[in-house]
Structure 1
Amino acid sequence: MIIPQSTAVRILSTDIECIFREYFSAPEARYDSVLQISGVAVNYYGNDHAEIKQKIVFTLDTCAAIDGVKVVECETERALLSKWRIFLLKFDPDVLTGFYSNKFDLKYLIERAERLGLATFPYFGRELDEKVVIKPSAGRKPAVVEDVPGRMIIDMYDYIKEQYPNLSRYTLDAVSHHFLGDRKEHMNYFEIPGLQMGDEYTRQRLAKYCLKDSMLAYELFKKLQPLENILDQTAVPMECYGCEEQ
């Protein structure tokens, strides 16, 4: 399916970086702060035609400037999450994407906001009186953000694993190399605490790392065209997802 050229589908690709208390352990929203949130906001027309409207990074503490990127410095983690929510509502995406985003990034932001007492945070769908809910884990299935009212979620990890079952690895680095000939920014995860506690230039390095993950998820979206495939399968016109005529 080719999306009508008069219709821009607004895509927001998101990634987050968190602190962690112990080596060899995943961050836990009960204890571990969100340090940065990156976003790539796109007007998407399908058939490999898209326009990046903005690249943005919300960062806890100061961060040196990055060419072509809006850097939003936040004094507190509460401000970081609140400003990201305001940005999302203002851009008003039709589709939220990322890589493992519905099982980690979006879920972590909601859980962390609850821990910080940000009662309005999980209301970032199109219906502001409808809360974005985390579906609890069931058996081997992890907890997941399954629905954002009025917005479609397309997690590129889920899509690639379903559509390409014979790949040897499903990390963002591996699938980006396979489909795009590109890689993640080289960084050891254990470097993150030191980069955050350094200065504006070390946090800039972390911001570039975070943003590259959002960019890779978007480039995978553009290359593999999951939206077109989903619309073909469901025969639902894109207008039903809230897109506006340009």
Structure 2
Amino acid sequence: MERYSMVLLDIDYLTVDEMPVIRLFGKDKSGNEPIIAYDSSFRPYIYAIPTDTERCLDDLAELGLEKLEVTERGDLGKPVEVIRIEFRHPQEVPKLRDRIRNLESVADIREHDIPFYRRYLIDRSIVPMSGIEFNGVEVDSAPSVTSDDVRIIEITDGIETSDSGFPQLDILSFDIEVRNPHGMPDPENDEIVMVGIAGNMGVESVISTRGEHLDFVEMVDDEAAILERFAEIVREKKPDILVGYNSDNFDFPYLSRRAEILGVELDLGWDGSRIKTMRRGFANATAIKGTVHVDLYPVMRRYMNLDRYTLERVYQELFGEEKLDLPGDKLWEYWDREELRDELFRYSLDDVVATYRIAEKILPLNMELTRIVGQPLFDISRMATGQQAEWFLVRKAYQYGELVPNKPSHSEFSKRRGRRAVGGYVKEPERGLHENIVQFDFRSLYPSIIISKNISPDTLTDEKDCDCHVAPEYGYRFRKEPAGFVPSVIGEILSERVRIKGEMKRSDDPMERKILNVQQEALKRLANTMYGVYGYSRFRWYSMECAEAITAWGRDYIKRTIKIAEEFGFHTVYADTDGFYATYTGRRS
């Protein structure tokens, strides 16, 4: 048995002899050797809140559930006795949870909808995009692995996070071009004429059947060979991250269908598996075992406010440069007409280079959010900010010994949707030109209100004689002690951000300052998301009272500050939520 270390990139599980086995995909610290580590020691579980503990234990035993443990957890600040129910396999949970919930001896069940691989990351206290260490034994083969160029390790024990710093990752970008003479590309009929690839792995080329006179074009015989060569490069290089732009909904589904028609295997996974496309909400998501596929399109829609989100528009906004653009419905003409074809090749290369540059700029923030939230980059890059905040709280709930609230039922969700919290105070801007303008701004207003007023579902009370903070306008009461779950978590975030910004000031190393800045920016985004999700209808810790109290205190603070400023001779010309602009009149009241 040896001690192994690697940078954790991704995670899944498979079934071996009817038992679940976690697989961890990573690279050794040198970044050269891909590793798949197997852990067969972890089992899924849920919690039951009993009405009668002894009777509940008997009822659960009658269902064939044997691994039962009576323990105590917090439930919105109140200690409750719960029964931890362990299952043999994750598939047993959806089969049995309703039967458990419907037992007369069960008041409620909790944490029954946390995916097995996420449960593992939370309970083992490890995070993707960070170093991990474990004891294990290297083996020659493993189930579902057909590739012979990965190291396979069976974990025995001792898994933990190691201090790896910010990992330097291998990234490839890709993009396809289609001959589409009838408008919208149709994978049943329209062939792929080129695939572009770029990144930091020594590849910057376009694979095609034409263009032999261009030094960046790699010539192959036919469309099937284009797809085979693309798959070969990805298999050989085994990038840590493969990025595309709208690749979930266009490039990969199109590649998959054309490969199916042509009889080409898109076996890009480290274990020799094919790519897998699944539905996530209203969109697709394509996964590659080992390599993390990131579609930058939804990422940019989440982080930038633009009139449109084409690759050209995003690139221009980020870098202030124009990239080559061709009309999408005319690409087939550029392919068919020899005098235009070189322009199409340059367009294809320009697309993948631009995609890689965007990834280089944007991925560090997503990687840091992955490390903070503790869920895979594949998931984080496709999560709304509210989902990121929720999974961060789920992880913290485990650390705090708190039960995670259930998601709302359909009827509860419908009731919540009709309520909206009043937003921040806005004073419409005064028309005209103004000079000698002063800006007043509250730093982290809403997160600070949550902490200072201890606003949390577990501190909200109806008691009249408690030592409480009372919200203006609504009169909601929040206990001053003890600190609530959400205020405590936000306090940790803000304290860590202050610490990191202090390190930034003391550092003379430009690279270290860049990394620290990404870290503090990720924490800032997470903290600023927290206040808004209280009023989000699907949020596990939903509380309209909390949402209304936060904005009520915000309006109160800004109005009182404006009044004080006016007493000192300032005149407000515009105000919005957490700050205002004023001119100095010199007339004190």
Structure 1 and Structure 2 fold alike (TM over 0.5): yes
Q: How much does 1:236 deviate?
A: 7.2
Q: 1:167 is matched with which residue?
A: 306
User: Please, which moves more after superposition, 182-191 or 71-80?
Assistant: 182-191
Letter in 1 for 2:228: S
Q: 2:354 is matched with which residue?
A: 216
Using CA pairs below 8 Å that are at least 6 residues apart, which structure has the higher relative contact order? 1
For 2:356 and 2:297, locate their aligned partners in 1 and report how far apart those are by CA, in whole Å: 12
1:9 aligns with 2:172: no
For 1:28 and 1:82, locate their aligned partners in 2 and report how far apart those are by CA, in whole Å: 20
Candidates 179, 187, 190, aligned match of 1:19: 179
Letter in 1 for 2:292: M
Task: Specify every segment of 5 or more residues in structure 2 that has no aligned partner in the other structure, as ranges.
Answer: 1-128, 132-163, 378-589
For 1:186 and 1:177, locate their aligned partners in 2 and report how far apart those are by CA, in whole Å: 12
Q: How much does 1:192 deviate?
A: 1.9
For 1:78 and 1:41, locate their aligned partners in 2 and report how far apart those are by CA, in whole Å: 23
Q: 1:124 is matched with which residue?
A: 268
1:76-155 superposed matches below 5 A: 76-118=222-264, 120-121=265-266, 123-128=267-272, 130-136=273-279, 141-142=282-283, 144-155=284-295
Deviations 1:133-188 (A, max 9, x none): 222586xx24x243111111211111111223x32221111111111112331322
Q: How much does 1:235 deviate?
A: 4.3
For 1:185 and 1:9, locate their aligned partners in 2 and report how far apart those are by CA, in whole Å: 28
CA contact (8 A) 1:2 1:228 kept: no
Q: How much does 1:19 deviate?
A: 0.9
Q: 1:36 is matched with which residue?
A: 194
Task: Return closer, same or farther for 1:237/1:194 CA change in 2, 3 Å cut-off.
Answer: closer
Q: CA RMSD, aligned part only?
A: 2.7
CA contact (8 A) 2:268 2:288 kept: yes
Q: How much does 1:208 deviate?
A: 0.8
Q: How much does 1:216 deviate?
A: 1.1
1:183 aligns with 2:322: yes
Q: 1:202 is matched with which residue?
A: 340
Q: How much does 1:237 deviate?
A: 10
1:72 aligns with 2:215: no
For 1:157 and 1:188, locate their aligned partners in 2 and report how far apart those are by CA, in whole Å: 19
Letter in 1 for 2:179: I
Letter in 1 for 2:303: Q
Percent identity over paired residues: 23
For 1:29 and 1:77, locate their aligned partners in 2 and report how far apart those are by CA, in whole Å: 12
For 1:63 and 1:154, locate their aligned partners in 2 and report how far apart those are by CA, in whole Å: 31
CA contact (8 A) 1:78 1:113 kept: yes
Letter in 2 for 1:57: V
Q: 2:111 is matched with which residue?
A: none
Deviations 1:181-220 (A, max 9, x none): 1233132224322222233x63322111011111111111
Task: Return closer, same or farther for 1:155/1:6 CA change in 2, 3 Å cut-off.
Answer: closer
For 2:330 and 2:181, locate their aligned partners in 1 and report how far apart those are by CA, in whole Å: 13
SS at match of 1:80: helix
Task: Return closer, same or farther for 1:237/1:134 CA change in 2, 3 Å cut-off.
Answer: closer
SS at match of 1:159: helix
For 2:278 and 2:373, locate their aligned partners in 1 and report how far apart those are by CA, in whole Å: 23
Task: Return closer, same or farther for 1:65/1:79 CA change in 2, 3 Å cut-off.
Answer: same
Q: 1:242 is matched with which residue?
A: none
Candidates 228, 234, 237, aligned match of 2:367: 228
User: Please, which moves more after superposition, 100-109 or 190-199?
Assistant: 190-199
Q: 2:68 is matched with which residue?
A: none
Q: 1:241 is matched with which residue?
A: none
CA contact (8 A) 1:106 1:145 kept: no
Letter in 2 for 1:175: V
For 1:107 and 1:32, locate their aligned partners in 2 and report how far apart those are by CA, in whole Å: 13
Q: How much does 1:104 deviate?
A: 1.0
Q: 1:243 is matched with which residue?
A: none
CA contact (8 A) 2:130 2:371 kept: no
Q: 1:47 is matched with which residue?
A: none
SS at match of 1:162: helix
Q: 2:498 is matched with which residue?
A: none
CA contact (8 A) 2:181 2:332 kept: no
Number of matched residues?
216
Task: Return closer, same or farther for 1:222/1:75 CA change in 2, 3 Å cut-off.
Answer: same
Q: How much does 1:6 deviate?
A: 9.5
Task: Return closer, same or farther for 1:6/1:223 CA change in 2, 3 Å cut-off.
Answer: closer
For 1:104 and 1:32, locate their aligned partners in 2 and report how far apart those are by CA, in whole Å: 13
CA contact (8 A) 1:176 1:220 kept: yes
Letter in 2 for 1:160: M
SS at match of 1:232: helix
Q: 1:61 is matched with which residue?
A: 210
Q: 2:579 is matched with which residue?
A: none
For 2:376 and 2:254, locate their aligned partners in 1 and report how far apart those are by CA, in whole Å: 31
Letter in 2 for 1:189: G
Task: Specify every segment of 5 or more residues in structure 1 that has no aligned partner in the other structure, as ranges.
Answer: 44-52, 239-246
Q: How much does 1:227 deviate?
A: 4.3
SS at match of 1:54: coil
